[in-house]
DNA sequence: TTGAAAGCGCTAACAC
DNA sequence: GTGTTAGCGCTTTCAA
């Protein structure tokens, strides 16, 4: 293994000079810099990460905690994770992959050991047990031992109480409202919402509940009726759900789907029942654009900006680590794209 | 931050004693051990990762390189990644997430800096440019500077030349053979294979080509005709592909699908064309079980054992790091589960 | 603009 | 069974 000392010797300078060439923290004459850089290249030198972390008190690693469960739409998580890794590298950080498995202990372990300089948490629940460890500022009852002691962190998702936290998320409430607005504008008066699996609601995942809130309050404002049904994915589960919906509200002409694995079954079943999309019923999906355009009917949808979320999370974290910017809640504005699955409500029979 | 020295002082022992209590590398009297453990708990001590890596010459980190592209079936990659993270933790390792973006440079960086003790590579191509850096043993032309210098590594996937490499993969060739066997056994004589996107083949990804090999050689043995067509996912692309297939081979009664995003479109289009599954045509999918059971027809399928692959990769890597076990190619035996999508070939008209 | 040297917190000989 | 101590490779004062 090549060490900094070897590079120094090869270049005929002192160790500190090599270090400063690398960090740029003091000015170096052009000739010295070139000699050092030359030696670095010739010897194939890579600074030792452990030594750096020890002496410099920063590991240049960001921890990313992904959920262990996979009852959520996996490609979105993956896209976020990849965006995080890519953006982090662009800022000189590596990414440590943690699963939710260890729970709050992982936070303590990573914080305490200096393994990572900061963390990003995905799949945050409304009352998340990891939050007390991360809350900064002057939040009462926080569990850190002193000011400035907490791990810089960014949540992807919104807990109930965001005091002293930095969060990045799609504005799910606005997303729900946007869907209702679109359908109401087309004259639909009876809307059914096909949601995530029941477990997602029971777990009090923020995004699902907030979407519902947005949906319902805009429905109230526009005089539209909304019926919400959680749903496991797949054909069988959806067939049941759909039957119950039409049973209870035969006049339903609009659907909002927030569950990727229910999208295609819904379209298939509607077709099978002789209900044309969008002539008889309109469908609005909350899903990644890729899913919307690959479906059997090109879906009017609100996109889930996975990459954007990952990228923004890292950028906020890096800003914090550089001492710029503090706690903040960033809500991304949802955008609805009209495609072939929504149209005017049919005239009442 | 609590240091080992502080723990030692608090417990009234020397630093080395604390270190040995932690590592278990020499025997400690019960009373001393308890005093030390007590102090560790009271002070909330966590060993510093950087110092450990520096002094101990091991970071206890495994790097996992995932593909940046997402034209492959993402949930499988994610499941592997999560299995890797989980299994690694169980062995005391953390996982560093690298994207393919940096290419071979990432390998050099991680190796050279001692950031990770070992790496796992996913999505290996037949002639992968990262391989020369990883090849160990006495492989000719390897790029390491001396014996024992290379990074311990495990590939998930099989390159063309496995000399000096450890690989874990599903036996794709046997998988292809198994599919043909099943269909041939049911009397099908004309089989169409709907494959991954053309880009996957152009990139010479091992699994796709090997599956084809297995498919074709077993077809030759059983006197079955095979027509292979790569296919982008989605309805439109599949409609085209399917039309071409029936155009060229009107007598096709068996399908093998190796492309998750073609599964549902295929079923829908067959239905739409009035071809009943499995009465008129049989379908065998190569996909995770979850996809097979959630489809609109429960699919006869060969499962992709994602978790198993991730787990085995880590276990082999840990064995290598512990000085046990060397290079080896581990091929997991495919298993075909008969469900509702395959049946006897219809009598010739 | 550069060098010398004191640590960073831990591991692992080497003592006893 | 336990203590002492010399590094591991780097960053960063302090001095020149």
CA distances in angstroms from B38 to A52, B23, B41, listed in the order given: 31, 16, 5
* Proportion of chain A above pLDDT 90, given as a percent: 82
Per-residue pLDDT at B138: 40
Is A56 inside any structural domain?
Answer: no
CA atoms within 13 A on the CB side of A128: 27
**DSSP bridge pairs for B108:** none
For B289, other C-beta atoms within 10 Å of its C-beta total 17
What is the pTM for the complete model shown?
0.93
Out of A133-142, A195-204, B250-259, B286-295, which region has the weakest mean confidence (pLDDT)? Answer: A133-142
Distance separating alpha carbons of residues A34 and B3, to the nearest angstrom:
40
Residue A228 near residue A300, CB atoms below 8 Å: no
Is B17 inside any structural domain?
Answer: yes
Residue A123 near residue A72, CB atoms below 8 Å: yes
State the average pLDDT for chain A.
92
**Is strand D in 7 Å reach of the CB of A22?**
yes
Cα end-to-end span (Å), chain B: 81
Instruction: Calculate how close chain A gets to B219, using CA atoms only, in Å.
Output: 32
- For residues B148-167, give the mean pLDDT: 88
Nearest to A281 by CA among A271, A290, A291: A271
Are A300 and A194 in a shared domain?
A: yes
| Strand C nucleotides where any atom sits below 7 Å of a protein CB | 1-5, 7-13
Q: Report residue B307's pLDDT band, with 50, 70 and 90 as the boundaries.
A: very high
**Coil vs helix vs strand at A214:** helix
Instruction: Calculate how close chain B gets to A54, using CA atoms only, in Å.
Output: 5
State whether residue B101 sits within 8 Å of chain A by CB.
yes
**Coil vs helix vs strand at A97:** strand
Nucleotide nearest to B30 (CA to C1'): D1
Nearest 5°: CA angle at A180, between A175 and A183?
125
In tens, the pLDDT along B216-237 reads 999 999 999 999 999 998 888 9
Maximum CA extent, chain A: 91
Q: Report residue A146's pLDDT band, with 50, 70 and 90 as the boundaries.
A: very low
- E strand or H helix that includes residue A110: helix A104-113
What CATH number does the domain containing B146 carry? Answer: 3.40.50.2300
State whether residue A64 sits within 8 Å of chain B by CB.
yes
Nearest to A116 by CA among A102, A129, A131, A106: A106
Q: What is the DSSP-derived secondary structure letter of residue A146?
A: S
Q: How many residues does chain B have?
A: 349
Is residue A140 over pLDDT 50? no
Per-residue pLDDT at B58: 96
Are A223 and A191 in a shared domain?
A: yes
Is A162 inside any structural domain?
Answer: yes
Question: B48 CA, C13 C1': separation in Å?
Answer: 21
Are A136 and A177 in a shared domain?
A: no
Are A194 and A296 in a shared domain?
A: yes
Is B54 inside any structural domain?
Answer: no
Cα end-to-end span (Å), chain A: 80
Is A53 inside any structural domain?
Answer: no
- For residues B64-79, give the mean pLDDT: 85
Are B71 and B183 in a shared domain?
A: no
Question: B26 CA, D1 C1': separation in Å?
Answer: 9
For an interface test with A, the pick among B1, B82, B297 (most A C-beta atoms closer than 10 Å) comes out as B82
Dihedral sign, CA of B226, B231, B234, B240? negative
Of the two residues B146 and B321, the one the predictor is more confident about is B321
State whether residue B149 sits within 8 Å of chain A by CB.
no
Is residue A139 over pLDDT 90? no
Is residue A147 over pLDDT 50? no
State whether residue A264 sits within 8 Å of chain B by CB.
yes
Residues 6 or more apart whose CB falls under 8 angstroms from that of B27 comprise none
Per-residue pLDDT at A349: 64
Contacting residues of A for B77, CB less than 8 Å apart:
78
Is B190 inside any structural domain?
Answer: yes
Out of A202-206, B121-125, B165-169, which region has the weakest mean confidence (pLDDT)? Answer: A202-206
What does B55-66 look like in DSSP terms, one character per residue? HHS---EEEEEE
Is residue B320 over pLDDT 90? yes
Are B296 and B217 in a shared domain?
A: yes
In tens, the pLDDT along A295-339 reads 889 999 999 999 999 999 999 999 999 988 788 999 999 999 999
Are A194 and A160 in a shared domain?
A: no
Are A165 and A247 in a shared domain?
A: no
Are A69 and A11 in a shared domain?
A: no
* Proportion of chain B above pLDDT 90, given as a percent: 82
Residue B183 near residue B191, CB atoms below 8 Å: yes
Residues 6 or more apart whose CB falls under 8 angstroms from that of B193 comprise B212, B215, B226, B227, B228, B229, B255, B256, B257, B258
- For residues A55-78, give the mean pLDDT: 89
Per-residue pLDDT at B203: 84
- For residues B294-300, give the mean pLDDT: 93
Distance separating alpha carbons of residues A152 and B53, to the nearest angstrom:
23
State the average pLDDT for chain B.
93
Are B188 and B166 in a shared domain?
A: no
**Residue closest to sugar C1' of C13 by CA:** B16
Residue A116 falls in which region: left (phi positive, over 0), alpha (psi -120 to 50) or beta? beta
Distance separating alpha carbons of residues B286 and B288, to the nearest angstrom:
7
What CATH number does the domain containing B27 carry? Answer: 1.10.260.40
Domain that holds residue A24: 4-46
Per-residue pLDDT at B139: 39
Q: How many residues does chain A have?
A: 349
- List the structure tokens of A125: 């629940």
Is A32 inside any structural domain?
Answer: yes
CA atoms within 13 A on the CB side of A248: 14
Q: Report residue B72's pLDDT band, with 50, 70 and 90 as the boundaries.
A: confident
Closest residue in B to A61 (Cα) is B96
Question: A15 CA, C6 C1': separation in Å?
Answer: 14
Q: Report residue A145's pLDDT band, with 50, 70 and 90 as the boundaries.
A: very low
CA atoms within 13 A on the CB side of B209: 16
Instruction: Calculate how close chain A gets to B182, using CA atoms only, in Å.
Output: 26
Residue A101 near residue A68, CB atoms below 8 Å: yes
Number of domains in chain A: 3
Are B183 and B83 in a shared domain?
A: no
For B263, other C-beta atoms within 10 Å of its C-beta total 27
Interhelix angle A206-222/A172-185, rounded to 10 degrees, is 30
**Residue with structure tokens 């296919």?**
B231
Are B138 and B208 in a shared domain?
A: no
């Amino acid at each position: 293994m090549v060490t900094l000392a070897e590079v120094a010797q090869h270049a005929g300078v002192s160790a500190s000079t090599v270090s400063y060439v690398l960090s740029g923290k003091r000015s170096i004459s052009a000739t010295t810099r070139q000699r050092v850089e030359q030696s670095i290249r010739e010897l194939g030198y890579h600074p030792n990460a452990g030594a750096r972390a020890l002496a410099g008190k920063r590991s240049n690693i960001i921890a990313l905690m992904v959920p262990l469960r996979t009852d959520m739409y996996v490609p979105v998580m993956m896209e976020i994770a990849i965006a995080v890794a890519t953006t982090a590298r662009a800022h000189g950080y590596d990414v440590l992959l943690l699963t939710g498995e260890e729970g709050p202990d992982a936070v303590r372990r990573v914080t305490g050991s200096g393994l990572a300089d900061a963390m990003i948490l995905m799949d945050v629940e409304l009352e998340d047990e990891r939050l007390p460890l991360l809350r900064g500022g002057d939040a009462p009852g926080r569990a850190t031992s002193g000011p400035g002691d907490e791990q810089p962190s960014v949540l992807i998702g919104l807990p109930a109480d965001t005091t002293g936290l930095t969060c990045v998320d799609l504005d799910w409430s606005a997303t729900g409202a946007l869907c209702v607005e679109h359908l109401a504008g087309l004259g639909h008066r009876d809307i059914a919402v096909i949601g995530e699996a029941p477990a997602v609601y029971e777990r009090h995942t923020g995004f699902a509940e907030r979407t519902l809130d947005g949906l319902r309050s805009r429905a109230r404002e526009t005089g539209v009726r909304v019926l919400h049904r959680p749903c496991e994915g797949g054909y069988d589960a959806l067939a049941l759900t759909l039957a119950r919906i039409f049973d209870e509200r035969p006049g339903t002409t609009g659907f909002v789907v927030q569950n990727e694995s229910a999208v295609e079954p819904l379209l298939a079943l509607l077709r099978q029942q002789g209900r044309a999309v969008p002539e008889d019923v309109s469908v609005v999906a909350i899903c990644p654009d890729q899913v919307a355009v690959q479906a059997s009917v090109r879906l009017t949808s609100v996109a889930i900006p996975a990459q954007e979320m990952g990228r923004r999370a890292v950028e906020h974290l890096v800003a914090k680590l550089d001492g710029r910017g503090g706690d903040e809640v960033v809500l991304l504005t949802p955008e609805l794209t009209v495609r072939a699955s929504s149209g005017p409500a049919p005239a009442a029979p």
